[in-house]
Structure 1
Amino acid sequence: MAPSEQIEVELKFDVDAGHTAPDLRILPGVIGASAPETFQLDATYFDTENLDLAGNRITMRRRTGGHDAGWHLKRPTGIAGARRELRIGFGDAPADADVPAELITPVIALTRTRKLIPVAALSTTRTVTTLMGADGRPVAEFAEDLVSAQSMLPGGHYQEWAEWEFELLDGGRDTRLLKAAEKLLRNSGGRTASSASKLARAIGSTPTVVEPHLGRRPTALDLVVTDIAIHRNSLVAYDPQVRIDAEDAVHQMRVACRRLRSIFAGFPTVLDPARTAHLNEELKLLARILGDARDSEVQIAIDQGLLRSENASAALVAELTGTETTIHDRAIKAAHSAMNSARYFALLDSIDELIASPPPGPDADIDAVTAVDRSIEKNRKSIRKAQKTLAAMTERSPEWEEQLHTIRKRAKRLRYSTDAAEPLGRKRYKAVAKAAKRLQSSLGDYNDTRINRQRLGELAATNTLSGPDMFVLGRIDARQEVDGERALADYRKAAKDL
């Protein structure tokens, strides 16, 4: 059966076994309820020995019984009370069937090369009542569960409990119904659930991943490690999106790599450089691989934009966009291959080890604000020096064009240095970040027009296009020339703010 995914929005309560549930037909928007149905559900939960999934509030199970028997993967959504659930039915598959690849791929950045093993077995007697809305459509489901659970971890134990679950159906967002149900169920004997999931209760405490944050008086090392943890989380979060080539995912994962590298470059004496050099090189390689896919992705979007207002023939569209599409498909396959390699998983392991046990450098204990100020000033001086070199060059020469690219890279480095200060919550860095972003963006826009005009010229030189198509190329080139001059003017204004 093909995988299906939906957003699950539910309430969960602990309750005394046998406690009578209230009549939920009094809830707003509910006009009726189905007769209760009772099911026997048997589930085996899977995780790594390190509980990498449970630590990230993710559950993976194989369950028999009920209307949704099969494999389930539940992940956080960032919305309170909501989780993303991926389901795969298995029909008559044997109980010891391997975990489907469709469930492993979204979490492989967490599990990596570690084996998935059974960590808990749960048996639930579930009585379900479906609530109907005014149009006769099911709007919510109420489940009364009697649960018996056996942890399969070393030293694990057996336990029993009862709970209520109230779930909106079809990814519902009826907050009025949800709030009313919570109030009614609490007033009827429901208590705040002791665990976020049945698995969490079955296996007990787990090494839950917490969002990185700073204390009141952070050192430079505190700030650097916090920033590394933030961007590590971003890298892992975008991994499954890149694997399905979701929109903007390659770009965001590449940015995470660059931000991690910028921390090493911007604060070189806070961590021991001898211990981080290899990590920096691995991130550079990953960013380059992702960059091939990202560059073709950007060029496809640019080409489509150039042609949008033009009466271009199918031949011209194919000439301008066809090659990039092929390049992108090939680059995405290369990225996926790299992301399935032992080298990539070793990189992720190394980042985690660095966060858990950072190797301090000579400036690890200085004040975080001082470290940021030094980094920003160093990058500002680097940009000014590059601009002075640019002023001595012949405008529009190849060297001049390359120097603009150098300035853009240094502006990006400055921007990342100011971004690294975000956990400090200091407003004075925002103006610098804004100027650096504007500088970087304007030079990026100029570089795009330069590359586009070069490609247009090469295409025109082939003499394979019709007269009308050549006219279209001329119109596009003229627009790109104007856009390039506009971008340069914006760069010169932005440069004054640094």
Structure 2
Amino acid sequence: MADSKREIERKYEATDATRLPDLGRVAGVGSVAHEGVMELDAVYYDTEDLRLAAGNVTLRRRTGGSDAGWHLKLPVAEGVRDEIRAPLSDQVPDRLTALIRSRVLDAPVIPVVRLVSVRDVHVLTGDDGTPLAELSVDEVLAERLHGGDRTAAWTEIEAELADDGDPAFLDTVGRALEEAGIRPSAAHSKLARALAETGRAPEQGEAAEPRTAGDHVLAYVRRQAEAVVALDPAVRRGLPDSVHTMRVATRRLRSALRTYRRVLDREATRPLGTELKWLAGELGVDRDQEVLDARLSARLAELPRTLVIGPAEARLRIRSEVGRGQAHRRTTAALDSARYLDLLRALDALLA
């Protein structure tokens, strides 16, 4: 089994001489509880060429603390990630393996970095005792396990929003830290900093400015291909609107390949068009079920209550759950297929 949570956090630079401001004086804070110090030992996994890190995805096995286990973090927006967790085991859990397949394809994931963090934790709560955020000071030691042999050490401050908290509160905390001379971190994650300071890191620079018609077409095709890859985990997890959005990206890809035949290699794009049509069709099954469920529910809600006989809503809900389950299993089977992986490889080759 695996569970998930939305993680919203900010990171800040620190040194041994850094002192936290009085957090109890931050607007909205009623009290600050010192939760103590813990040691966290995490090994991060990736392919040899760091495909996960290149997409700002992290996969780790961590011991220590209250959430020991496997953690997969998927980017949502700047400073926002979905964290999917699974219990401790010797191998990467199958559920998490499936969620990274669109990025790693059939390449094995191996240990690349070990991070040992000594974490000093403070919990900020409101006047009514509601948790607002957790602020921790982390002393980090990074050891490269593959792709380098160096180590690195640093101290950082991490402010993580409590579940269902208001993101604006992190802005308030951030202003208090910056007024105390504490600056935001240049690295978006511990892993990114560890990779950069201990050996080879994936390239994260901006793409070159398109100059020719071919450059513009390839840039557009690349954006849609990246959307398909990034949306794959969301579709597998059954997140709202993910199937529709992935299907749109697939159809845009196919349209671009068909429209710009004079710019792109026809021998390479002709079979891709066929495979993209197949993928859009497979996604369409799930999407059609979504649309049908929404329409039936809306029509039922419009009827006068006197015309609704029996437990119509319950029956419709059961029918919807069965239909959605069947459609989702079919979609997942398509994403697990060799045909889908071949399509992703072909897109990589086209854009290489």
1:292 to 282, 285, 298: 285
CA distance in 2, matches of 1:213, 1:240: 28
Q: 2:3 aligned with 1:11, yes or no?
A: no
Q: Which runs of 5+ in 1 are unaligned?
A: 357-498
1:265 to 254, 258, 261: 258
CA distance in 2, matches of 1:263, 1:159: 45
CA distance in 2, matches of 1:329, 1:8: 28
CA distance in 2, matches of 1:47, 1:329: 31
- What's the CA shift for 1:303? 4.3
- What's the CA shift for 1:339? 0.8
* Identical-pair percentage: 37
Contact in 2 for aligned 1:212/1:230 (Cα 8 Å):
no
Partner SS for 1:136: coil
> Hey, what does 1:85 align to over in structure 2?
83
Measured at CA, do residues 234 and 100 of structure 1 come closer, stay the same or move farther in structure 2, by a change above 3 Å? same
CA distance in 2, matches of 1:132, 1:232: 43
Q: 2:336 aligned with 1:340, yes or no?
A: yes
1:151 to 130, 144, 147: 144
Contact in 2 for aligned 1:303/1:321 (Cα 8 Å):
no
Contact in 2 for aligned 1:296/1:325 (Cα 8 Å):
no
Q: 2:184 aligned with 1:196, yes or no?
A: no
Bigger helix share: 1
> Hey, what does 1:41 align to over in structure 2?
40
Bigger strand share: 2
- Please say which of residues 185-194 and 151-160 is displaced more in the overlay: 185-194
> Hey, what does 1:400 align to over in structure 2?
none
- Matched ranges for 1:13-92 at <5 A: 13-78=12-77, 80-90=78-88
How many pairs does the alignment contain?
346
Contact in 2 for aligned 1:47/1:54 (Cα 8 Å):
yes
2:349 to 344, 348, 353: 353
> Hey, what does 2:92 align to over in structure 1?
99
Q: 2:175 aligned with 1:183, yes or no?
A: yes
Show CA shifts across 1:23-50 (max 9, x none). Answer: 2112111232223501111111111122
Structure with greater Cα Rg: 1
Aligned AA (1:236): V
RMSD: 3.0
Q: 2:244 aligned with 1:251, yes or no?
A: yes
Q: 2:166 aligned with 1:168, yes or no?
A: no
Aligned AA (1:14): E
Contact in 2 for aligned 1:28/1:180 (Cα 8 Å):
yes
User: How does the TM-score come out when normalised to structure 2?
Assistant: 0.86
- What's the CA shift for 1:225? 0.8
- Matched ranges for 1:219-234 at <5 A: 219-234=212-227
CA distance in 1, matches of 2:4, 2:271: 39
CA distance in 1, matches of 2:160, 2:317: 47
CA distance in 2, matches of 1:156, 1:43: 17
Contact in 2 for aligned 1:250/1:290 (Cα 8 Å):
yes
- What's the CA shift for 1:319? 11
Aligned AA (2:201): T
- What's the CA shift for 1:148? 0.8
Q: 2:94 aligned with 1:115, yes or no?
A: no
Bigger RCO (CA 8 Å, 6+ sep): 2
- What's the CA shift for 1:122? 1.0
Contact in 2 for aligned 1:151/1:157 (Cα 8 Å):
yes
Q: Which runs of 5+ in 2 are unaligned?
A: none
Aligned AA (2:122): T
Partner SS for 1:134: coil
Measured at CA, do residues 144 and 324 of structure 1 come closer, stay the same or move farther in structure 2, by a change above 3 Å? closer
- What's the CA shift for 1:112? 2.0
Partner SS for 1:22: coil
Contact in 1 for aligned 2:30/2:128 (Cα 8 Å):
no
